Amino acid sequence: MINVFRTYNPLNIVWLGILLFLLRIGFIYNVPARLEFTYLEPFARLLAPGAYQYDFPPLLNVFLAAVLVFIQALLVNRLTSQFGLLGKPSFLPALMYVTLSGLFTPFLILSPPLICNFLLIWMLYKLFDLYKGDDAKSITYDLGMIVAIGSLIYFPFIYLFLAIWVALMLFRPFYWREWIIGIMGYATVFFFLAVIYYLRNKLPQFSNIWTPLATKFPTHISINYYNYLVLIPVVIIFMLGIVRIQQIFFRSYVQIRKSFQLLFVIFLITGLSFYVKAQFSLTHFLLCLIPLSIFFAYYFLYAGARWFYESLFFILLAGIVYFQFNTF
């Protein structure tokens, strides 16, 4: 299967859709009777005084989530091709994104992090443009606004503001106005939110928005470790991808090296920002899938032993389907 997606053949879009369905068979078979979808944080619900919570029929919820994943996979694939992150075009980033989106059953339904992945893809387009962009101030301002919109939908998205400053350090010489204008972009969105709070006579509650940022990082999380055995091939592939990138790191263009450094930082930021939400939820880690899928695609594009990487990918697929049919 990997060799099929190594080529940039439009027919792979069809195979991608088939795989997307196959990776959801187990969950469709055991779909819960009710699935709710809320698209705004509680503090932002003044922006949508009507319906901000939808109770779709379960199968429709899963179908809509699959459509969003499919679109995002194609956007991630286009992103990597446009900026030459892999050196040559292929459909591997889309394949990896679709595969990783089926890791856990909470990934298969509509959720705020899934919606925010559109914003993260949009951010990556703009972040990579900083390398050769002439007007970095307007790009940075837009990035600040994107992070603000994302944090209205899913508050931990606020930490991706750090990715803006990291990108400025990697791609641009230091210019203090570019660092400040991102804050202005973020503040613009929350200024209008503050106006709405004022008009609703709730301005004293506005400062409570940032209270979760003071939450201490947890030292222990109660989880069922059997459900995370599927992560074993994920960790192996990720480590092999890092090793492969290091092997040819200094032979790559400067822009590509810095882009992968930025992707790794974004992976760390999205992975570690889960603690801001009071209730632990696996859906948060959907934000990690975009950089992770690009690292995976890099490994599978340049891996040498076909029997090994095809077997490793098959084990990953089999583990995903198995754990959808079996819960411990």
Q: What is the pLDDT of residues 103-118, one digit of tens each?
A: 888 899 899 999 999 9
* Res 76: pLDDT: 96
Average pLDDT estimate for 244-255: 72
Residue 116 lies in a domain: yes
56 sits in the region (left: phi over 0; alpha: psi -120 to 50; else beta) called beta
Average pLDDT estimate for 1-18: 89
Please determine, for residue 53, whether its predicted confidence score (pLDDT) is greater than 90.
no
* Res 270: pLDDT: 94
Please determine, for residue 247, whether its predicted confidence score (pLDDT) is greater than 70.
yes
* Res 77: pLDDT: 95
Please determine, for residue 327, whether its predicted confidence score (pLDDT) is greater than 60.
no
Give CA 21 to chain center in angstroms: 20
Per-residue tokens: 282? 């696996």
* Res 251: pLDDT: 63
Please determine, for residue 142, whether its predicted confidence score (pLDDT) is greater than 90.
yes
CB 153 within 8 A of CB 115: yes
CB 52 within 8 A of CB 160: no
CB 9 within 8 A of CB 26: no
* Res 306: pLDDT: 85
Average pLDDT score over the chain:
86
Q: How many Å apart are CA 183 and CA 232, to the nearest integer? A: 39
Please determine, for residue 208, whether its predicted confidence score (pLDDT) is greater than 90.
no
Q: How many Å apart are CA 22 and CA 328, to the nearest integer? A: 22
Please determine, for residue 72, whether its predicted confidence score (pLDDT) is greater than 90.
yes
Among positive and negative, which fits the CA dihedral 254, 309, 319, 322? Answer: positive
As beta bridge partners, residue 53 has 38
Residue 21 lies in a domain: yes
Please determine, for residue 222, whether its predicted confidence score (pLDDT) is greater than 80.
no
Average pLDDT estimate for 115-127: 95
Average pLDDT estimate for 48-68: 78
CA distances from 63 to 14, 16, 30, 66 (A): 17, 15, 14, 5
Q: How many Å apart are CA 56 and CA 63, to the nearest integer? A: 10
Please determine, for residue 59, whether its predicted confidence score (pLDDT) is greater than 80.
yes
CB 245 within 8 A of CB 303: no
Among positive and negative, which fits the CA dihedral 103, 109, 111, 117? Answer: positive
Q: How many Å apart are CA 101 and CA 73, to the nearest integer? A: 9
CA distances from 37 to 51, 65, 250 (A): 11, 11, 45
Residue 93 lies in a domain: yes
Using DSSP, state whether 37 is helix, strand or coil.
strand
Supply the range of the domain harboring residue 142.
Answer: 2-212+225-325
Residue 41 lies in a domain: yes
pLDDT band at 35 (very low <50, low <70, confident <90, very high): confident
Identify which has the larger pLDDT, 136 or 93: 93
Please determine, for residue 50, whether its predicted confidence score (pLDDT) is greater than 70.
no
pLDDT band at 175 (very low <50, low <70, confident <90, very high): confident
pTM of the model: 0.92
Give CA 47 to chain center in angstroms: 24
Please determine, for residue 47, whether its predicted confidence score (pLDDT) is greater than 70.
yes
Per-residue tokens: 171? 């791609």
Percentage of the chain with pLDDT > 90? 39
Residue 19 lies in a domain: yes
Count of alpha carbons within 13 angstroms of residue 24, beta-carbon side: 26
Residue 46 lies in a domain: yes
Residue 219 lies in a domain: no
Identify which has the larger pLDDT, 59 or 263: 263
Please determine, for residue 92, whether its predicted confidence score (pLDDT) is greater than 60.
yes
What are the two backbone dihedrals, phi and then psi, of residue 37, each rounded to the nearest 5 degrees?
A: -135, 120
Lowest mean pLDDT among 194-198, 238-242, 314-318, 324-328: 324-328
Residue 218 lies in a domain: no
Average pLDDT estimate for 301-322: 87
Angle value at C-alpha 250, between 265 and 234, nearest 5 degrees:
45
* Structural domains in the chain (count): 1
